[in-house]
Amino acid sequence: MDAKAAAEMVLGNLQSGVHQKEQDNSSAPENVVVLKSDQEGACQMCDSDPAGGNQELTESILDDLPCSQLLYFEKMDELFSASRTSPVSKGRDERVNSSSDKIRDPLTFSAGAEHRNRPPDSSSHSKCVSFKTESLKDHLKSAMTGNARAQTLQVSKTKQLKEAVLSEEIFVARKVIESSSVDIGPFYGLPSKVKDLFRQLRGIETLYEWQHDCLTLESLQQRRNLIYSLPTGGGKTLVAEIIILQELLCRQKDVLMILPYVAIVQEKVRGLSSFGIELGFLVEEYAGSKGRFPPVKRRVKKSLYIATIEKGHALVNSLIETERIYDLGLVVVDELHMLGEGSRGAILEITLAKILYTSKKTQIIGMSATLNNVGDLQKFLQAEYYTSDFRPVELKEYIKVRDTIYAVDSKTENGFAFSRLLNFKYSSNLEKADPDHIIALVTEVIPKYSCLIFCPTKKNCENVASMVCKYLKKEFRAHREKEKQDLIKNLKSIGNGSVCPVLKQTIPFGIAYHHSGLTNDERKSIEEAYSSGVLCLLACTATLAAGVNLPARRVILRAPYVGSDFLKKNQYKQMIGRAGRAGIDSAGESILIVQEKDKHLVQDLVHSPLENCYSNLLLELSKGMQSLLLSLVGLKIAVTHEEVDNFMCCTLLGVQQQLLSKEKSLSEIIKDGLENLIEKGLLKGRISQEDHNSKSTLTITPLGKATYKGSIDLAYCNLLYRELKKGLEGLVLESNLHLLYLSTPYDMTSTCSPDWMIYLRQFNQLSAAEQKVADIVGVPESFITKKASGQAIRKNVDNAVVNRLYLTFVLYALLKETNIWSVSEKFNMSRGYVQNLLSSAASFASCLLHFCEELEEFWVYKALLTELTKQLTYCVKTELIPLMEVAGVLEARAKQLYNAGYKTLAHLANANPETLVRMIEHLSRRQAKQIISSAKMLLSEKAEALQEEVEELLKVPTDIPGTH
Ligand SMILES: Nc1ncnc2c1ncn2[C@@H]1O[C@H](COP(=O)(O)OP(=O)(O)OP(=O)(O)O)[C@@H](O)[C@H]1O
Ligand SMILES: [Mg+2]
Domain harbouring 433, CATH code: 3.40.50.300
Q: Does a structural domain hold residue 614?
A: no
What pLDDT is stored for residue 582 in this prediction?
78
Half-sphere exposure of 875 (CA within 13 A, CB side): 24
Best residue for ligand 1 mutational test, from 205, 211, 237 (most atoms within 8 Å of Cβ): 237
CA–CA dist 190, 193 (Å, integer): 8
Evaluate if residue 371 carries a pLDDT over 90: yes
Of the residues 150, 179, 208, which one is the last residue of a structural domain?
179
Instruction: Evaluate: CB of 201 within 6 angstroms of ligand 1.
Output: no
Atom of ligand 1 minimally distant from the CA of 369 = 25
User: pLDDT tens, 923-933?
Assistant: 888 889 989 99
Say if residue 167 is in the same domain as residue 233: no
Portion of the chain with pLDDT greater than 90, in percent: 51
Determine the residue type at 586.
Answer: S
Instruction: Give 438's pLDDT tier (boundaries 50, 70, 90).
Output: very high
Ligand 1 proximity of 238 Cβ (cutoff 6 Å): yes
pLDDT tens, 391-431? Answer: 988 999 999 998 899 999 878 878 888 998 987 788 888 88
Tell how far the Cα of 33 is from the centroid of ligand 2, in angstroms: 25
Please tell me the distance between residue 237's alpha carbon and the centre of ligand 2 in angstroms.
Answer: 5
* Confidence at 166, pLDDT banded by 50, 70, 90: low
Q: What are phi and psi of 302, to 5 degrees?
A: -95, 160
* pLDDT score, position 794: 77
The amino acid occupying position 483 is E
Q: Average pLDDT for residues 769-789, to the nearest whole number?
A: 92
Ligand 1 atom closest to the CA of 230, numbered from 1: 21
The answer on 565 and 577 residing in a single domain is yes
Atom 25 of ligand 1: nearest residue by CA position:
232
Are 586 and 462 contained in the same domain? yes
Give the residue, out of 204, 333, 336, 337, with the most ligand 1 atoms within 8 A of its beta carbon, to mutate for a pocket test. 204
Q: Which atom of ligand 1 lies at the shortest distance from residue 370's CA?
A: 25
Question: 370 CA distance to ligand 2 centroid (A)?
Answer: 11
**Distance between CA atoms of residues 739 and 753, nearest Å:** 22
Looking at residues 672-681, what average pLDDT do you find? Answer: 93
Report pLDDT for 39: 33
Q: How far is the CA of 167 from the centre of ligand 2 (A)?
A: 42
15 and 147 share a domain?
yes
Dmax (CA) for the chain in angstroms is 104
Q: Is 388 helix (H, G, I), strand (E, B) or coil?
A: coil
pLDDT exceeds cutoff 50 at 40: no
Q: Which ligand is nearest to the CA of 229?
A: 1
What average pLDDT is seen over the chain? Answer: 81
Q: Which of 896, 806, 947 is nearest to 489 (CA)?
A: 896
- Ligand 1 atom closest to residue 237's alpha carbon, by position in its atom list: 18
Find the 262 Cα to ligand 2 centroid distance in Å: 15
- Specify the residue with its C-alpha closest to ligand 1, atom 26: 232
Q: Looking at this protein, which amino acid is placed at residue 84?
A: R
Q: Which of 581, 585, 590, 610, when mutated, tests ligand 1's pocket best, judged by the most ligand atoms within 8 Å of its CB?
A: 581
Residue 506 lies in a domain: yes
Residue 177 has pLDDT above 60, yes or no: no
Span 209-235, pLDDT tens digits: 999 999 999 999 999 999 999 998 899
Last residue of a domain, one of 657, 683, 708: 708
At residue 754, the pLDDT reads 93
Nearest-atom index, ligand 1, CA of 368: 25
CA of 758 from ligand 1 middle (Å) equals 49
Q: What amino acid occupies position 687?
A: I
Report which of residues 317 and 545 the model is more confident about. Answer: 317
Query: Which of 118, 93, 515, 122 lies closest to 297 in space, CA to CA?
Result: 93
Which residues pair with residue 308 across a beta bridge?
none
The per-residue pLDDT for 42 is 31
Name the residue among 647, 581, 73 with its Cα closest to residue 352.
Answer: 647
Whether residue 918 sits in one domain with residue 848: no
Specify the pLDDT at position 429.
86
Least Cα distance to 469 among 572, 539, 368 occurs for: 539
| 460 lies in some domain | yes
Task: Provide the 3-class DSSP secondary structure of residue 254.
Answer: strand
Higher pLDDT, 192 or 67: 192
How many whole angstroms from 236 Cα to the centroid of ligand 1? 6
In a shared domain, residues 870 and 884: no
Neighbours of 764 (CB within 10 A): 12
Q: Locate the ligand 1 atom nearest the alpha carbon of residue 574 and give its number.
A: 26
Of 512 and 59, more confident: 512
Omega of the bond leading into 294 within 30 degrees of 0 (cis) = yes
Main-chain dihedrals φ then ψ at residue 399, nearest 5 degrees: -125, 160
Kindly identify the ligand whose nearest atom is closest to the C-alpha of 578.
1
CB 800 within 8 A of CB 764: no
Ligand 1 pocket check for 204: Cβ under 6 Å: yes
Instruction: State pLDDT tens for residues 791-820.
Output: 888 778 898 999 999 999 999 999 988 788
Same domain, 221 and 315: yes
- Same domain (yes/no): 418, 310: no
| Angle ∠(405,409,412) on CA atoms, nearest 5 | 105
**487-525 pLDDT, tens digit each:** 999 898 888 788 899 999 999 999 999 998 898 889 889
pLDDT reported for residue 163: 58
**Burial (0-12, 13-18, 19+ Cβ within 10 Å), 945:** middle
**Strand 561-562 versus strand 565-566 pairing type:** antiparallel
- Cα dist from 480 to 109, 475, 584, whole Å: 51, 11, 19
Domain presence at residue 393:
no
* Residue 435 pLDDT: 92
Rounded-to-integer distance, Cα 347 and Cα 625, Å: 10
| Distance between Cα 621 and ligand 2 center (Å) | 32
Tell me 953's DSSP state. H
Provide the 8-state DSSP code for 255.
E
70 — pLDDT class (breaks 50, 70, 90): very low
Residue nearest (by alpha carbon) to ligand 1 atom 1: 207
Q: Are residues 496 and 366 in the same domain?
A: no
pLDDT of 27 strictly over 70: no
Q: What distance in angstroms lies between residue 922's CA and the mean position of ligand 1's atoms?
A: 26
Cβ of 232 below 6 Å from ligand 1: yes
Q: Last residue of a domain, which of 673, 708, 743?
A: 708
Q: How far is the CA of 583 from the centre of ligand 1 (A)?
A: 8
Q: How far apart are CA 348 and CA 350, in angstroms?
A: 5
**Position 310 in a domain:** yes
H/E/C letters for each residue in 445-508? CCCCCCEEEECCCHHHHHHHHHHHHHCCCCHHHHCCHHHHHHHHHHHHHHCCCCCCHHHHHHHH
Cα gap 350→615, rounded to integer Å: 10
Bridge partners, residue 228, by sequence: 367, 386
What pLDDT is attached to residue 184? 56
340 and 198 together in one domain = yes
- 259 and 141 share one domain: no
User: How far lies 411's CA from each of 407, 408, 600, in Å?
Assistant: 11, 9, 17
Nearest ligand, measured from the Cα of 570: 1
Predicted confidence (pLDDT) at residue 121 exceeds the cutoff of 60:
no
The answer to whether residues 725 and 820 touch, using CB atoms and an 8 Å cutoff, is no
What is the total count of domains within the chain? Answer: 6
Asked if 459 and 372 sit in the same domain, the reply is no
Ligand 2 centroid to residue 193 C-alpha, Å: 24
Q: What is the pLDDT of residues 270-297, one digit of tens each?
A: 899 999 999 999 999 998 778 888 998 8
Domain range enclosing 899: 877-954
Whole-number Å distance between alpha carbons of 453 and 591? 9
pLDDT of 48 > 60? The answer is no
Q: How far apart are CA 418 and CA 731, in angstroms?
A: 70
Nearest ligand 1 atom, CA 583: 5
Task: 270-273: list long-range contacts, CB under 8 Å, 24+ apart.
Answer: 270/887, 270/888, 270/930, 270/931, 270/933, 270/934, 271/201, 271/930, 272/241, 272/304, 272/306, 273/887, 273/930, 273/933, 273/934, 273/936, 273/937
Would residue 442 count as lying in a domain? yes
